Amino acid sequence: NAGVTQTPKFQVLKTGQSMTLQCAQDMNHEYMSWYRQDPGMGLRLIHYSVGAGITDQGEVPNGYNVSRSTTEDFPLRLLSAAPSQTSVYFCASSYSGQRGQPQHFGDGTRLSIL
Amino acid sequence: SQQGEEDPQALSIQEGENATMNCSYKTSINNLQWYRQNSGRGLVHLILIRSNEREKHSGRLRVTLDTSKKSSSLLITASRAADTASYFCALGGSNYKLTFGKGTLLTVNP
């Protein structure tokens, strides 16, 4: 059972480039989310989804797009990369979006924007 | 949205000792969760305590919640070198979202 799989693990981009961070889970979880982790800032919620076809914004959504066409996949798109988006990105999933569900995390994508 | 504040920011102990870290918050919550993050890895869920619960145990972990003081504590008993990690509290409110604190870095020296 793979859990939550994120690809790539590392990526270097130039300012202005676009890219998609992939996230897939094989646990049939309804709820998926993206966080970024910066030194001294903890984890901040970017976007989340409570099921296929449903997405919503988190705390820091600007510069990012998401879609949820299947239960398994929740890609995060950087539209035009900026140095401020250098961070470690984590995808997480939980059984449902109901309150009080433990979240399962991937191992992250380390992204550097030059 | 509110963020939990962990205290201390860093903690260094000897193997076999107990480790206690705290999380304080400002508004009402539905549940509070604790996670561990090993260096270079994702977060791993440790324990969840609901607002109507006061204490929960899981193996060597003990979590307490005092909603009147808006605080929670995580106790790790008989620490091992493998417990070295960052520990985060996460606040669950009235919606789907979890809000994470900045974490406590625990170092257990052999």
Residues of chain B with C-beta less than 8 angstroms from the C-beta of A104: 45
Contact A90 B43 (CB under 8 A): yes
* Count of CB pairs separated by less than 8 Å, A with B: 60
Q: Which residues contact B59 (CB under 8 A, 6 or more apart)?
A: none
Contact (CB, 8 A) for B9 and B25: no
- Nearest-CA neighbor of A103 among B15, B7, B91, B110? B91
Confidence of residue B27 (pLDDT cuts 50, 70, 90): confident
d(CA A54, CA A100): 20
Closest CB to B96: pick one of A31, A44, A102. Answer: A31
Q: What is the mean pLDDT of residues B85-100?
A: 89
- Which tokens sit at A62? 């600007």
Out of B40, B45, B95, whose CB is closest to A102?
Answer: B45
Interface contact flag, B100 A4, Cβ < 8 Å? no
Query: How far, in Å, CA of A47 to CA of A61, rounded?
Result: 6
B50 touches chain A (CB under 8 A): yes
Span B14-18, average pLDDT: 97
Q: What is the pLDDT of residues A18-58, one digit of tens each?
A: 999 999 999 999 999 999 999 877 899 999 999 999 999 99
pLDDT tens sequence across A71-89: 999 999 999 999 999 999 9
Report pLDDT for B95: 75
Q: Closest to A107 (Cβ–Cβ): which among B41, B45, B48?
A: B41
Interatomic CA distance for residues B25 and B27, integer angstroms: 6
List, in order, residues 6 or more apart from B68 with CB less than 8 Å away. none
Look at A104 and B45 and tell me if their CB atoms are within 8 Å.
yes
CA distance A64 to A58: 11
